[in-house]
């Protein structure tokens, strides 16, 4: 079986990491072409994971030795590249966000529907994490009865000065937003962002932590602590409360150590390690799907659209002193039925 | 050293349990008198833990062989008995609530202040739980930096038909309200009660679960899930998030069992077992304090007043579709400084 | 109900701690008399927990205001005091060991049998620990099927220079020896002590750690790591493996802390804290039993005898390069049937 | 980079599983040829993972389109196939055991040394398990000081009638034997097998559980419970005790569930799931190494030889009523220095 020939648009660190993954971890794929707005960066990537460079994303999408496209460029350019790929009828994997505005997301949705088949997958990797998958199995298998509440926390050790208050929703909470829609098989209908006492260990412009509340169509209440300067490590918590039980996402397995008066485990310091296996599985399944000629099974363009609309609502709440903001999603077309 | 002679007003189950405790668990105390609106019940209690019966609470407070009073009668009668004890200058331990209205609480506060010394302790036993005490030590010892958020859950396996929606605040959340004020050494300034999708396993009149939000004077955000029909057991969770760390209340120690494909522990089914040691410690320290002639060190009449005002705010929020309700507490008199 | 009047022989730290417990923690008891080979020490104790001093243990046992005797003197003197108490027909609680030789233990056993009733209890406090009791309930309740193996560890942060290699069995493992006989309701029939590589962090004369193996009459294999210079804290582990499951003694409940890159709990540093509640329960139940006029329900003189014979076998194995040494116990008289 | 062309000898379940892995999980490999003593079985495997069949192992080793050989045939045939591969100068991955006798292992060792380079890797997959690797990092990084003891358990839910008492060492404990030699970077010098009370839930011919004791050259004492009918699941425990701390292998991460009065996690039921990632990593690293033209970094022929000699000693102890049996290993040639 011939390898899937992947073209990569954007050779920043996530692009490079995916090139490494396609080359060294995922079977059945090869990177044939790479492009970047910085030609030098593209050349270095092409040298490291042998591929040719192309001047533009459009060239890369059009290249005959590119079967499928991976978009890992700067967020605001995603829509253009994805639309090009859809127009070319080529499968495209786009790192989140699908697009930076709801309008652009909808343009992609419409173009994809017009093309008659699903081509787009968005890079929400948590759906591929073994822990979340087991959690979904428990919920789907009626292990806790009907879900009523979900308590979440998303903590990072620290955030750079470039991290702004809206990014708590756009870049951070967006992962929970996607994975909870999938976990609950439910839609989020409102968002609210409260601001607890701020930590002193942050850049002064930043509201951190933030406490977010979401409600779903079925009335499930989700609360999410986003705390990006928690100091102690990268820590993802998710506890689903149902009518008959409570299920909790596992912490990563780690050696327990009894030493110096303490009994404990190391906390991971970065999200790459936390979700390394999820990234591997995500690309492995995507490549296998492309090779098999089927439609992508992962997060769809619709999921990308919904995530953008919901994060917009959260940002609006943040900027209006914590008002409850309704999520104004269009009706989901049958084309995107799960 | 002579025993403290305790008179008990109210011989229901909690009264009986405290009589057992004073007789068999706590040193330095004896129950000398008991009264109840049901004379038969008083007689049975008096036979079981040898004591004499008295016709009324007023008689009991006045009795010369009663050094200190324990009020375990029906909530609406608490204020009268406590005021009698204060008037008599006798130490009085009153099970929560101190009184069922803020006005009555304030009458007690004023009477106690007028008496010139602290005589009243309210039965919020969680402050005596080893886990909460360790948690307070961690917070006070700067183990997590300044507190920013607290995530709590209070779950009961089931609630009887007589349990109404306001009781989620009045009878259930009131324990968290008191213990968090103490844990954080901070005051609660607003309350909000949201209603997630209701469980099917409840009496139809009941809103269950409820999701409560509190804010403190320093800006700490507290969220509290109250879920009194969770089916699986009695479960108390409390996680404090600070600037540099996160501390969590321990679950009760329990044998871990690997059996039948599962690795786990039993969850306690009732709160009496969960807080049995706390009840013991609470009364032991109270009796020792009375014997030593000092003022009570436990939850004060002011704490009882604050708890009532805050639960009133929560109930008002519940009954107004989840509006944020400000807590309208008077200024704390110096008399009640910690 | 009148208090049990206890006389205490031996005012060292454990004697003082029990005097505190009888005075401040356990209801229904008072310390009326104390004696010590060091008269000054006795006087100080008597001043602290108001009691009178008596010149000798024999005087104390004979005193009319002593209903029951607590022996907390130096181990080699235990037998004499216990025999005196038995001769006087007074209940006697003796800290371990019952006696330092099997012969002396047997003399006590015979004297007690001759007296016609059980008077002696030995201070093996672990039987009163909530965790061990729950573990026994699980085993007795067929929670793991028939027991086949037990894996144990007994670790101390450090040991003083006065701690010698045989004390690993005599002073340390003796607790497991007693509690396992009780937990399994079985008798130990052989002992073997192996010596792993020694830690560098010990006094040079000491073999530490030691790895002990015991076999019971029913064929259960027990292994016990004794490590008294483990550095990190006081740590007691016990895991029972049965035909259908594995049950493990709980660690003490403790606040979990996520901080500085670690997620963990503090390990206790001393055994007094670890078994504080067990000591309380042990004396509470003993006092209640004496007050009720029944025979002691705790570890018997026979248990004290068995523990001494088994620790002797372990020491013999240690001193003979790890030979398996049979435990040469007499047949248990019906008098001591459980 | 061209794929490594792997020939597979033995198309039983482990052979098939490795063929699946090489085809679908590991990048850079393809299965080009397969053989089996059962030609039908070989044909089915060849159809499933497209490859050609060859009549014999010798043919397969000699085939020009086979770069490297995977031996997954019946144990007693391993030596012949491995020797063929070494003679052909081809890298060979051999599932454990390397050979069923120490003599055959030594023949392979000598042949490999004579060939002048390392070609053989033995399939001890635990060295590739993330938990064991973290444990090794902790030990190597002085996280527990010098190791003194290791406590292990290896439990299976059940064993078939064909599982005999010596297999507890040969097929089960052999995994701990290899991984502990690697973990401690130390050699095992004696073995002893004790037989606790046997479970009733076993085939009558089987001694189960067995309790194994090993000593290393540095004096570390290892104890290992092997219990292959524990009923409740597949459970691997490993706790290393050092001079300053204790490190424990993590259990697999799993959703924790509070439900029906219990708080717990599922225990895995089979070892394939437990070590699935380890198998993947093992083959991925082996293929990458072969592709890079280097010598294999995994368990060597010497490790295979040592494992066989040590398991022989354990079986001899089992069959001589638990005598301590010295491990009679030859001196390790410099060729096999770590």
Is the separation of the CB atoms in D121 and D300 below 8 Å?
yes
Which domain CATH number covers A249? Answer: 3.30.360.10
Among C82, C86, C117, C121, CA closest to C99? C82
Chains in contact with chain C (at least 3 beta-carbon pairs closer than 8 A): A, B, D
Q: Confidence class of residue B271 from pLDDT cuts 50, 70 and 90?
A: confident
3-class DSSP state for residue B133?
Answer: helix
Q: Which residues are CB-neighbours of C58 under 8 A, at least 6 positions away?
A: C84
Whether C217 and C149 map to the same domain: the answer is yes
Nearest-neighbour CA in chain A from B144: distance (Å): 10
* pLDDT score at A338: 76
Residue A216, domain extent: 127-274+306-336
Considering D122, D137, D168, which residue would you say is the last residue of a domain?
A: D122
In a domain, C41, yes or no: yes
Map tokens 């109404």 to a residue: B164
Whether D94 and D243 map to the same domain: the answer is no
- Tens of pLDDT, residue by residue over A290-309, are 999 999 999 999 999 999 99
Structure tokens at B185: 């050494």
Whether A258 and A326 map to the same domain: the answer is yes
In a domain, D281, yes or no: no
**Pairing, β D256-259 against β D262-266:** antiparallel
What are the backbone angles phi and psi of residue C335, rounded to the nearest 5°?
Answer: -50, -30
Q: For chain A, how many structural domains are there in total?
A: 2
- Tens of pLDDT, residue by residue over C276-318, are 999 999 999 999 999 999 999 999 999 999 999 999 999 999 9
In chain B, pLDDT over 70 holds for what percent of residues?
100
- Residue range C198-208: mean pLDDT, rounded: 97
pLDDT over 80 (residue B19):
yes
User: What whole-number distance in Å separates Cα of residue D71 and Cα of residue D78?
Assistant: 7
In a domain, D286, yes or no: no
Burial of C116 (0-12, 13-18, 19+ CB in 10 A): exposed
pLDDT over 90 (residue C1):
no
Whether C227 and C243 map to the same domain: the answer is yes
* pLDDT score at A90: 98
In angstroms, what CA-CA distances link B188 with B108, B328, D85, D284?
Answer: 21, 10, 76, 57
Q: Which residues are CB-neighbours of D59 under 8 A, at least 6 positions away?
A: D35
In a domain, C138, yes or no: yes
Is the separation of the CB atoms in A11 and A42 below 8 Å?
yes
Whether C158 and C262 map to the same domain: the answer is yes
pLDDT over 70 (residue B12):
yes
Q: Among residues 249-268 of chain D, which lie with CB inside 8 Å of chain A?
A: 249-260, 265
| This prediction's pTM | 0.97
Whether B172 and B252 map to the same domain: the answer is yes
Whether C99 and C48 map to the same domain: the answer is yes
3-class DSSP state for residue B313?
Answer: helix
- Residue range B235-246: mean pLDDT, rounded: 98
The strands making up B29-35's β-sheet, listed across from edge to edge, are: B52-53, B29-35, B4-9, B68-71, B92-94, B120-122
Structure tokens at D158: 């059940």
Whether C170 and C260 map to the same domain: the answer is yes
Map tokens 């000798």 to a residue: C56
Whether D89 and D211 map to the same domain: the answer is no
Nearest-neighbour CA in chain D from A302: distance (Å): 29
In a domain, C68, yes or no: yes
* pLDDT score at D1: 54
Considering A87, A122, A157, which residue would you say is the last residue of a domain?
A: A122
- Residue range C93-98: mean pLDDT, rounded: 97
Residues C267, A261: C-beta atoms closer than 8 Å: yes
Average pLDDT, rounded, for chain A: 97
User: What whole-number distance in Å separates Cα of residue D198 and Cα of residue D149?
Assistant: 25
Nearest to D245 among A253, A259, A288 (CB): A259
Instruction: Identify any residues that bridge with A52 across adjacent strands, giving them in sequence order.
Output: A33
Residues C253, B250: C-beta atoms closer than 8 Å: yes
Q: Among residues 206-235 of chain D, which lie with CB inside 8 Å of chain A?
A: none
- Residue range A21-40: mean pLDDT, rounded: 96
User: What whole-number distance in Å separates Cα of residue A242 and Cα of residue A51?
Assistant: 50
B99-110 core/surface letters (b: 16 or more CB in 10 A; e: else):
bbebebbbbbbe
- A-interface mutation test, from C233, C256, C261, C266, most A Cβ less than 10 A away: C261
Structure tokens at D117: 């380079």
3-class DSSP state for residue B66?
Answer: coil
In a domain, A230, yes or no: yes
Q: Confidence class of residue C271 from pLDDT cuts 50, 70 and 90?
A: confident
Q: For residue A193, what is the nearest residue in chain B, using CA coordinates? A: B221
How many contacts, defined by CB atoms under 8 Å, are there between C and D?
107
* pLDDT score at C272: 86
3-class DSSP state for residue C185?
Answer: coil
In chain C, pLDDT over 70 holds for what percent of residues?
100
In a domain, C93, yes or no: yes
User: What whole-number distance in Å separates Cα of residue B49 and Cα of residue B6?
Assistant: 12
Q: Among residues 138-167 of chain D, which lie with CB inside 8 Å of chain C?
A: 145-149, 151, 153, 155
CB-CB neighbors (< 8 A) of C153 in chain D = 151, 241
Nearest-neighbour CA in chain B from A174: distance (Å): 21
pLDDT over 60 (residue C79):
yes
Considering D70, D98, D122, which residue would you say is the last residue of a domain?
A: D122
Instruction: Provide the H-helix boundaries in chain D.
Output: 13-24, 39-48, 57-62, 78-88, 102-115, 130-140, 167, 174-184, 271-274, 276-292, 301-318
Is the separation of the CB atoms in B213 and B221 below 8 Å?
yes
Whether B175 and B262 map to the same domain: the answer is yes
User: What whole-number distance in Å separates Cα of residue C115 and Cα of residue C117?
Assistant: 6
CB-CB neighbors (< 8 A) of C144 in chain B = 257, 259
What are the backbone angles phi and psi of residue A328, rounded to the nearest 5°?
Answer: -100, 75
CB-CB neighbors (< 8 A) of A151 in chain B = 151, 153, 223, 225
Q: For residue D245, what is the nearest residue in chain C, using CA coordinates? A: C232
Average pLDDT, rounded, for chain B: 97
pLDDT over 90 (residue A205):
yes
What are the backbone angles phi and psi of residue C259, rounded to the nearest 5°?
Answer: -165, 145
Residues B197, A148: C-beta atoms closer than 8 Å: yes
Task: Report ipTM for this prediction.
Answer: 0.96
**Kindly report the CA angle at A76 between A71 and A82, in degrees rounded to 5?**
40
**Pairing, β D262-266 against β B262-266:** antiparallel
Whether B266 and B170 map to the same domain: the answer is yes
- Write out the H or E segment, with its range, that includes residue A139: helix A130-140
Q: What is the mean pLDDT of each run of 10 residues along chain D (338 residues)?
A: 91 97 94 97 96 98 98 97 98 97 98 97 98 98 98 98 98 98 98 98 97 98 98 98 98 97 96 94 97 95 98 98 97 93
In a domain, D52, yes or no: yes
- Residue range C38-53: mean pLDDT, rounded: 96
Is the separation of the CB atoms in A183 and A136 below 8 Å?
yes
User: What whole-number distance in Å separates Cα of residue B221 and Cα of residue B325?
Assistant: 14
User: What whole-number distance in Å separates Cα of residue C84 and Cα of residue C106?
Assistant: 15
* pLDDT score at A1: 54
Residues B263, D251: C-beta atoms closer than 8 Å: yes
3-class DSSP state for residue D199?
Answer: coil
Which domain CATH number covers D75? Answer: 3.40.50.720
Whether A88 and A164 map to the same domain: the answer is no
């Amino acid at each position: 079986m011939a390898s899937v020939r992947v073209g990569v648009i954007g050779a920043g660190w996530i692009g490079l990491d995916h090139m490494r993954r396609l080359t060294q971890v995922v079977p059945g794929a090869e990177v044939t072409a790479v492009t970047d707005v910085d030609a030098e960066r593209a050349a270095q990537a092409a040298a490291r994971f042998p591929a040719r460079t192309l001047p533009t994303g459009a060239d890369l999408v059009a290249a005959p030795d590119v079967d499928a496209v991976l978009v890992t460029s700067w967020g605001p350019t995603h829509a253009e590249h994805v639309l090009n790929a859809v127009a070319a009828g080529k499968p495209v994997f786009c790192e989140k966000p699908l697009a930076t505005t709801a309008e652009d997301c909808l343009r992609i949705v419409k173009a994809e529907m017009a093309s008659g088949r699903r081509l787009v997958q968005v890079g929400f990797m948590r759906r591929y994490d073994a822990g979340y998958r087991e959690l979904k199995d428990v919920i789907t298998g009626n292990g806790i009865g009907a879900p009523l509440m979900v308590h979440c926390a998303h903590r990072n050790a620290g955030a750079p000065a470039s991290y702004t208050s809206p990014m708590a929703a756009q870049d951070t909470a967006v992962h929970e937003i996607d994975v909870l829609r999938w976990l609950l098989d439910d839609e989020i209908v409102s968002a609210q962002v409260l601001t607890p006492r701020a930590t002193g260990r942050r850049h002064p412009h930043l509201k951190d932590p933030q406490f977010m509340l979401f409600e779903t169509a079925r009335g499930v209440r989700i609360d999410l602590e986003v705390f990006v300067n928690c100091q102690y490590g990268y820590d993802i918590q998710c506890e689903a409360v149902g009518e008959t039980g409570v299920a909790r996402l596992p912490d990563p397995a780690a050696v327990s150590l009894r030493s110096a008066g303490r009994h404990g485990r190391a906390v991971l310091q970065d999200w790459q390690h936390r979700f390394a296996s999820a990234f591997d599985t995500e690309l492995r399944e995507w490549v296998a799907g492309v090779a098999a000629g089927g439609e992508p099974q992962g997060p769809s363009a619709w999921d990308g659209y919904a995530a953008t609309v919901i994060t917009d609502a959260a940002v609006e709440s943040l900027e209006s002193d914590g008002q409850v903001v309704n999520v104004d999603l269009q009706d989901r077309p049958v084309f995107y039925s799960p």
